[in-house]
Chains A and B, each alone.
Chain A
Amino acid sequence: MGNKFIAGNPNLCIGCGTCMAACMMEHPPIDGVPIPRLALIKTRQTSVPISCHHCQDAPCVASCPEQALYYEGTRVEVRENRCIGCSSCVLACPYGAIEIVLTTSTKTIGGVVYQNSRKPYVLKCDLCVSKPEGPACVSTCLTKSLKIVDEASIKTSTQDKRVKAAQAAEIAASQFELA
């Protein structure tokens, strides 16, 4: 079972940020503030959203001393209650696809606040797993520059590339013979 993740095509991306807005609104706000889990990155030549690749040997999972990050099938998931906010996963992730934000949690007894504590919250792509129609960024992208990549689509794409290579080999061979 290969990994499943969202990949952007910079040739189609117009840098409008609809994916980020969709991501913000699809997930529950953090302390009342909606925050996106993918980042639209622009260099001079490229515009493309970056998000978690749900790697098969994920450095974030390996780096977490509390097993807050773990595999749910092929997906890298988070157990929020285990996170201690050490930022190891943030450092380990080669995509910069994880962020940790602090939320305020208030404990009360009989309506009286006895503790205001800050709790770390791991922000990363969850592939909109609770949404039956799939990731919101993919469905809202108006140029269809975002696609879900999974084992099946990788197989198809690999096969397509091999067929093209084979056709190219045939042309090369015929020209070699002519020469």
Chain B
Amino acid sequence: MAVTTDRAALNEWIACGWPEKVVPGGKYRTVLLGQEIEVRRTGVSSFEVFECDGHGELSRSLPVQAKYCCIFTTLGEPIRPLPKIPEFDEADRRITGCGSVGVHTSPFRIIENFLDMAHFSFVHTDILGAPERTEVLAYKTEHRKDVDEIWAIDCQFYQPAASKASKGGQMTHYAYRVMSPFSVMLYKNVFDDPTRNDAICLFVQPIDETECLAYMPLAIVDRESALTSIIDFQQTIFAQDRVILENQRPALLPLDPTIELPTRADASSIAFRRWLKAKNFQFGVYEKKAA
């Protein structure tokens, strides 16, 4: 496994674990973009990250930040800070990391699936979508150039059980936010409280081009449900997605729109692929071989 040379990938902050994965004083090794790293927990909330050389010895020290239930590092020179997600600072929210799930596919397939509403009725049947209500109504996508984020707004979809707190079906309103090529989140309205939104993040750690770890931190409004059942709900959803994600071909994401044909419901996917193409991403991307 070679370390990627793609600067676009190297220059991003990327999740590489969650704090509870390691006790204070402990350490673990993992891989990021083909590069082995060692993460050390030096105190309750202080961490160090090092590159490992070809012989497993520690070499360069890397920047590190612990935020949003994850540990982030970068192998390059970050072109942007970590995103601001103020919901994680609201006192009455349930904040949890949900651990990590291994997925054998491109990081961008995972991000794109997270942005997709059209699969709810088929993959998350009777939970996030109903078999008889499959329509994806028109929504807007935006490239917010000031923060270089892709947004999909005014999204809505009928959901039989939108969250653990749901007591019946509802028209759920969504906003999606792609904060970097490896991180995405959504806001969805809380059951019975249209003034507040649950915040659900998905941070992807690309081990290599087609092997990832996915982290799903939540900051949600739900006074009643046990934290374990909130986590169970998210993990059930993700397990359903994983079956899809590991059976898409090619595993690498095609950016050429003639290879995979989109429809209107795929507006967010189209915007995401264009954005990756404009960044000249090579890592995790499918290149059609010349005939």
Partners in one complex: no
A interface, CB within 8 angstroms of B: none
B interface, CB within 8 angstroms of A: none
